[in-house]
Amino acid sequence: MADTLQILRALSEPLRLRCYLLLRQSPLAVSELAQILRISQSNASHHIKALRELHLLLAEKNGQHTYYALNRQVFAEPHLAGVLRVLEEAATEIPERRSDTLRLRKVLSQRNAETFARWRQAQPDLAYSEAFAHLACGRRGRVLDIGCGEGDFFGELALSFNAIVAIDYDFAHARSAKDRGQNKAHVLCADAQELPLADACVDAIIFRMALSQIRDFVQALREALRALKVAGFLSIIDSDGENGAFYADVISALRKMPKARIDYEERLPRLFLLRVERIS
């Protein structure tokens, strides 16, 4: 393993420090880093190689892409805390830092759009543009949108369901979602770990990039199954985490729940899709 001085030398190079700051937010492919940093792919590969040689990055092959992530085990070493603190303070002087963050958001948005496009191609019979809305099946009854954010998914859900109930833990998000939903959705500011809903009261439930943000996601799954009607479907789309760890944790938790049956699962680049049926 590299010593502290080697790591300091590697990360003090401005482009590598920018790489570190980006990878701290999300694993990325070389092509994505090149796009964000506005450098050539060969240049991006050069910096990735330098960081990998110091064991600072992990690589994961997913389809045609290789994604690089920070080696959290190395960066968790106590002797590096001071080094990273100094470097992150110095990074505030990098003029490109804000534009890097904005381009990162754009890249991740594009990645999600490509993921949904692939999913639509695999399901050509689906009539609407946002296929995940239909992963819940039914296209009827009442759907619960957990972690609804500002309600940007209400339009797609309204195409499939007669009524929408939505919750978000953040008051500002819930207020924005309520304004956006108007007559489309009944919005509550509530905790997914303790749903303010009766047993077996909804026909379908959606976790759209929300489950991984909940502190006790296992309890949130239990609550979702409690509120779901028998033969109803729970649909999850989320990031699979580093090395697929979160995906594995979700699968493991669901298999221990007697009311749950995994009906469909698919892994896509950095994402996974699950459909779970309540069976009792």
Q: Which of 115, 149, 178 is the last residue of a domain?
A: 115
Residue 114 pLDDT: 65
Residue 81's domain comprises 4-115
- Model confidence at 266, pLDDT cuts 50, 70, 90, reads confident
Query: Which of 83, 115, 147 is where one domain is finished?
Result: 115
Q: Please state, in angstroms and rounded to a whole number, the distance separating the CA atoms of residues 170 and 91.
A: 30
Check whether residue 92 and residue 208 sit in a common domain.
no
Q: Specify whether 53 is located in the same domain as 73.
A: yes
Are residue 161 and residue 252 in the same domain, yes or no? yes
Same domain assignment for residues 221 and 128: yes
Q: pLDDT tens for residues 72-129? A: 788 778 877 777 888 888 778 888 888 888 888 778 767 666 655 555 555 444 333 3
Which two structure tokens, joined as six digits, stand for 52? 């990998």
Question: Which of 86, 115, 144 marks a domain boundary?
Answer: 115
Cα distance between residue 120 and residue 57, in whole Å: 33
Q: Count the Cβ atoms, other than its own, within 10 Å of residue 73.
A: 10
Would you list the DSSP string of the chain? ---HHHHHHHHHSHHHHHHHHHHTT--EEHHHHHHHHT--HHHHHHHHHHHHHTT-EEEEEETTEEEEEE-HHHHT-GGGHHHHHHHHHHHTT-TTHHHHHHHHHHHHHHHHHHHHHHHHHH-TT--SS-THHHHT--SSSEEEEET-TTSTTHHHHHHH-SEEEEEESSHHHHHHHHHHHTTSEEEEE--TTS-SS-TT-EEEEEEES-GGGSTTHHHHHHHHHHHEEEEEEEEEEEE--GGGHHHHHHHHHHHT-TTEEEEEEEEETTEEEEEEEE--
- Summarize pLDDT for 171-200 with one digit per residue, the tens: 888 888 888 877 789 999 999 999 999 999
Q: What is the pLDDT of residue 95?
A: 85
For the domain that residue 274 is a member of, what is the CATH number?
3.40.50.150
pLDDT digits (tens, 9 = 90+) for 20-52: 888 887 888 999 999 999 999 999 999 999 889
**173/90 same-domain check:** no
Residues 100 and 127 in one domain: no
Asked if pLDDT for residue 273 goes beyond 60, the answer is: yes
CATH number of the domain to which 30 belongs = 1.10.10.10
Residues 88 and 198 in one domain: no
What share of the chain has pLDDT > 90, as a percent?
Answer: 28
Q: Are 256 and 222 contacting, i.e. CB atoms less than 8 angstroms apart?
A: no
Contact 252, 208 (CB under 8 A): no
Same-domain pairing of 158 and 249: yes
Whether residue 44 sits in one domain with residue 95: yes
Burial class (CB in 10 A: 0-12, 13-18, 19+), 125: exposed
pLDDT per position as a tens digit, 135-151: 544 457 899 999 998 88
Based on the fold, state whether residues 131 and 188 are members of the same structural domain: yes
110 and 212 co-located in one domain: no
Domain count, the chain: 2
Kindly state whether residues 172 and 146 are assigned to the same domain: yes
Closest CA relative to residue 83, chosen from 154, 3, 177, 162: 3
